[in-house]
Amino acid sequence: MGGLFSRWRAKPSTVEVLENIDKEIQALEEFREKNQRLQKLWVGRLILYSSILYLLTCLIVYLWYLPDEFSARLTMTLPFFAFPLIIWSIRTVLIFFFSKRTERNNEALDDLKSKKKKILEEVMEKETYKTAKLILERFDPDPKKAKEFEPPSAGAAVAARPGQGK
Protein backbone atom coordinates (compact mmCIF):
# COMPACT_ATOMS: atom_id res chain seq x y z
CA MET A 1 0.00 0.00 0.00
CA GLY A 2 2.88 2.36 0.80
CA GLY A 3 4.40 1.78 -2.62
CA LEU A 4 1.16 2.88 -4.20
CA PHE A 5 1.10 6.24 -2.38
CA SER A 6 4.80 6.87 -2.91
CA ARG A 7 4.21 7.08 -6.67
CA TRP A 8 2.01 10.16 -6.27
CA ARG A 9 4.15 11.89 -3.73
CA ALA A 10 6.21 14.65 -5.28
CA LYS A 11 9.96 14.44 -5.26
CA PRO A 12 11.49 17.17 -3.08
CA SER A 13 12.75 20.13 -5.07
CA THR A 14 16.40 21.14 -5.19
CA VAL A 15 15.70 24.12 -2.95
CA GLU A 16 14.04 21.92 -0.31
CA VAL A 17 16.94 19.46 -0.40
CA LEU A 18 19.47 22.29 -0.04
CA GLU A 19 17.46 23.82 2.82
CA ASN A 20 17.48 20.48 4.65
CA ILE A 21 21.22 20.10 4.09
CA ASP A 22 21.82 23.63 5.39
CA LYS A 23 19.77 22.87 8.52
CA GLU A 24 21.74 19.68 9.12
CA ILE A 25 25.06 21.48 8.58
CA GLN A 26 24.05 24.18 11.05
CA ALA A 27 22.99 21.56 13.60
CA LEU A 28 26.31 19.73 13.23
CA GLU A 29 28.29 22.95 13.62
CA GLU A 30 26.32 23.79 16.77
CA PHE A 31 27.00 20.27 18.06
CA ARG A 32 30.73 20.76 17.42
CA GLU A 33 30.76 23.99 19.44
CA LYS A 34 28.72 22.39 22.22
CA ASN A 35 31.03 19.36 22.26
CA GLN A 36 34.13 21.57 22.59
CA ARG A 37 32.53 23.51 25.44
CA LEU A 38 31.56 20.27 27.19
CA GLN A 39 35.08 18.89 26.81
CA LYS A 40 36.60 21.99 28.39
CA LEU A 41 33.99 21.94 31.14
CA TRP A 42 34.41 18.24 32.02
CA VAL A 43 38.20 18.24 31.89
CA GLY A 44 38.37 21.51 33.83
CA ARG A 45 36.03 20.23 36.52
CA LEU A 46 37.94 16.98 36.75
CA ILE A 47 41.24 18.81 37.28
CA LEU A 48 39.74 21.34 39.71
CA TYR A 49 37.85 18.88 41.89
CA SER A 50 40.60 16.28 41.92
CA SER A 51 43.20 18.92 42.83
CA ILE A 52 41.08 20.19 45.72
CA LEU A 53 40.41 16.63 46.92
CA TYR A 54 44.10 15.75 46.61
CA LEU A 55 45.30 18.77 48.57
CA LEU A 56 42.70 18.39 51.32
CA THR A 57 43.42 14.67 51.67
CA CYS A 58 47.18 15.31 51.80
CA LEU A 59 46.70 17.96 54.47
CA ILE A 60 44.40 15.79 56.59
CA VAL A 61 46.68 12.75 56.37
CA TYR A 62 49.77 14.83 57.15
CA LEU A 63 48.23 16.53 60.17
CA TRP A 64 46.26 13.70 61.76
CA TYR A 65 47.01 10.27 60.40
CA LEU A 66 50.70 10.15 59.51
CA PRO A 67 52.32 7.37 61.59
CA ASP A 68 55.76 7.65 63.17
CA GLU A 69 57.29 4.56 61.56
CA PHE A 70 58.96 4.97 58.17
CA SER A 71 57.44 1.84 56.56
CA ALA A 72 53.96 2.84 57.73
CA ARG A 73 54.51 6.37 56.37
CA LEU A 74 55.60 4.95 53.04
CA THR A 75 52.52 2.74 52.83
CA MET A 76 50.31 5.65 53.78
CA THR A 77 51.78 7.94 51.08
CA LEU A 78 51.72 5.43 48.19
CA PRO A 79 48.13 6.30 47.21
CA PHE A 80 49.19 9.94 46.96
CA PHE A 81 51.67 9.01 44.24
CA ALA A 82 49.10 6.91 42.36
CA PHE A 83 46.29 9.50 42.51
CA PRO A 84 47.78 11.93 39.90
CA LEU A 85 48.32 9.02 37.51
CA ILE A 86 44.70 7.94 37.91
CA ILE A 87 43.45 11.49 37.30
CA TRP A 88 45.73 11.85 34.26
CA SER A 89 44.39 8.58 32.79
CA ILE A 90 40.76 9.67 33.39
CA ARG A 91 41.57 12.99 31.69
CA THR A 92 43.06 11.13 28.73
CA VAL A 93 39.95 8.94 28.43
CA LEU A 94 37.70 12.02 28.51
CA ILE A 95 39.74 13.76 25.82
CA PHE A 96 39.69 10.58 23.70
CA PHE A 97 35.90 10.28 24.09
CA PHE A 98 35.26 13.88 23.08
CA SER A 99 37.74 13.74 20.19
CA LYS A 100 35.98 10.66 18.79
CA ARG A 101 32.65 12.49 18.97
CA THR A 102 34.21 15.48 17.23
CA GLU A 103 35.74 13.24 14.57
CA ARG A 104 32.41 11.55 13.81
CA ASN A 105 30.73 14.96 13.68
CA ASN A 106 33.38 16.33 11.30
CA GLU A 107 33.01 13.33 9.00
CA ALA A 108 29.24 13.83 8.82
CA LEU A 109 29.79 17.55 8.23
CA ASP A 110 32.24 16.87 5.40
CA ASP A 111 29.79 14.41 3.83
CA LEU A 112 27.00 16.97 3.93
CA LYS A 113 29.19 19.71 2.49
CA SER A 114 30.31 17.48 -0.38
CA LYS A 115 26.69 16.48 -1.01
CA LYS A 116 25.71 20.17 -1.08
CA LYS A 117 28.58 20.97 -3.45
CA LYS A 118 27.53 18.12 -5.75
CA ILE A 119 23.95 19.36 -5.82
CA LEU A 120 25.09 22.91 -6.56
CA GLU A 121 27.23 21.67 -9.45
CA GLU A 122 24.22 19.77 -10.81
CA VAL A 123 22.17 22.94 -10.50
CA MET A 124 24.67 24.84 -12.64
CA GLU A 125 24.48 22.13 -15.31
CA LYS A 126 20.79 21.23 -15.38
CA GLU A 127 18.72 24.22 -14.22
CA THR A 128 17.79 27.28 -16.23
CA TYR A 129 19.97 30.35 -15.86
CA LYS A 130 17.50 32.31 -13.74
CA THR A 131 16.72 29.44 -11.40
CA ALA A 132 20.36 28.43 -11.08
CA LYS A 133 21.39 32.01 -10.33
CA LEU A 134 18.78 32.31 -7.57
CA ILE A 135 19.76 28.97 -6.05
CA LEU A 136 23.48 29.77 -6.18
CA GLU A 137 22.97 33.21 -4.63
CA ARG A 138 21.00 31.65 -1.81
CA PHE A 139 22.97 28.51 -1.04
CA ASP A 140 26.50 28.87 -2.41
CA PRO A 141 28.84 30.32 0.22
CA ASP A 142 31.50 30.93 -2.43
CA PRO A 143 30.39 33.95 -4.48
CA LYS A 144 33.11 33.34 -7.08
CA LYS A 145 31.18 30.41 -8.54
CA ALA A 146 28.05 32.46 -8.96
CA LYS A 147 30.04 35.14 -10.78
CA GLU A 148 31.71 32.55 -13.00
CA PHE A 149 28.29 31.28 -13.94
CA GLU A 150 27.12 34.77 -15.01
CA PRO A 151 27.87 35.78 -18.58
CA PRO A 152 29.91 38.98 -18.88
CA SER A 153 27.76 42.03 -19.32
CA ALA A 154 28.32 44.53 -22.14
CA GLY A 155 29.00 47.41 -19.71
CA ALA A 156 31.83 45.54 -18.00
CA ALA A 157 33.76 45.11 -21.25
CA VAL A 158 34.19 48.85 -21.76
CA ALA A 159 36.30 50.16 -18.92
CA ALA A 160 37.74 53.62 -18.55
CA ARG A 161 41.49 53.73 -19.04
CA PRO A 162 43.67 55.60 -16.59
CA GLY A 163 44.24 59.16 -17.75
CA GLN A 164 40.95 59.30 -19.65
CA GLY A 165 38.39 61.59 -18.19
CA LYS A 166 34.70 61.74 -18.81
pLDDT-derived band at 111 (thresholds 50, 70, 90) equals very high
Instruction: Say how many residues make up the chain.
Output: 166
Helix (H) or strand (E) holding 128: none
Helix (H) or strand (E) holding 164: none
Q: Is the pLDDT of residue 57 over 80?
A: yes
pLDDT-derived band at 7 (thresholds 50, 70, 90) equals low
Residue 151: per-residue pLDDT: 55
Shortest CA distance to 98 belongs to which of 26, 36, 31? 36
Cβ-based burial of 109 (10 A; exposed 0-12, middle 13-18, buried ≥19): middle
Residue 105: per-residue pLDDT: 95
Hey, where are the domains in the chain? Answer: 15-141
CA pair distance 131, 138, nearest whole angstrom = 11
CB atoms < 10 A from the CB of 93, how many? 10
